[in-house]
Amino acid sequence: MTLQDKVEQWRRETAELEPGVLIAWAWREFGNDVVLASSLGAEDQVLTHLIAEHAARIPVITLDTGRLFGETHDLLNETRRRYDVDLRVFFPDAGKVEEMVNEHGTNLFRESVDLRKKCCAVRKIQPLKRALDGKKAWITGLRRDQSLNRTAIDFVEWDAGNNLVKINPLAAWREEDVRDFLIRHDVPYNPLHDRGFPSIGCAPCTRAVEPDDDPRSGRWWWEPREQSECGIHIVNGKVTRRVPVLVE
């Protein structure tokens, strides 16, 4: 029986599990073959905290694209100091970045959607693929109320884009649940969330938004909205959005 064949059984087994218990289940089921892929967003910080409590041997992987905010680097260092977890940072291939910049310029992402997606592929998608290589499952901070495309998210599902089991411990959480957890447990989070940045990516491609704006409107704001995705999260063959919360 393949991993994909087992997903339905696992979905039934985990339907009522609390996030921390689900994380412990993931470690028992997959051992060294499961990781948390963290963008250092609010949901991922919650999950890092829960991993430290329930399954500290699960690696926490994150990407340093080479264009992150200083505040994001500070949060990475604070997270490493705070939690006794296996935190691993993956970088883009230096040769591919050099080739891309020499051919298209440092800020190629402003030239066209295709070049922006090329930049995302080199700096994000390819390093993530390398980080997930050989794994059987990954844990994410996806929530059902993040977008219309995510209302049917399960706690355990098959990720056809990466051929992995995707585990979403916070699927049933609301934005206020994430905020309350961060405050109650004093979890470190990116201070940019308090400065109008609900969604944080690379510094040149992210800006603050007004309180009533779409949380993703600060990402690649010069592009049509339907194009504004990096391509990491794919559900049922469709790119979906990941929106960290604004912590007040």
Residues annotated within a binding site for [4Fe-4S] cluster: 119-120, 202, 205
Residues annotated within a binding site: 119-120, 202, 205
Strand intervals (E) in the chain: 34-38, 60-63, 87-90, 137-139, 156-159, 164-167, 234-235, 238-239
CA distance 241 to 117: 15
Token pair for 228: 């504004």
215 classed as catalytic: no
Say whether 116 sits in a helix, a strand or coil: helix
Cβ-based neighbours of 108, under 8 Å, separated by 6 or more: 100, 101, 115, 116, 118, 119
Q: Which residues pair with 202 in a beta bridge?
A: 68
Estimate the share of the chain in helix, then strand, then coil, as percent rounded to the nearest 5.
50, 15, 40
Catalytic residue among 230, 232, 245, 246: 230
Placement of tokens 């967003």 in the chain: 41
Catalytic positions, written as ranges? 230
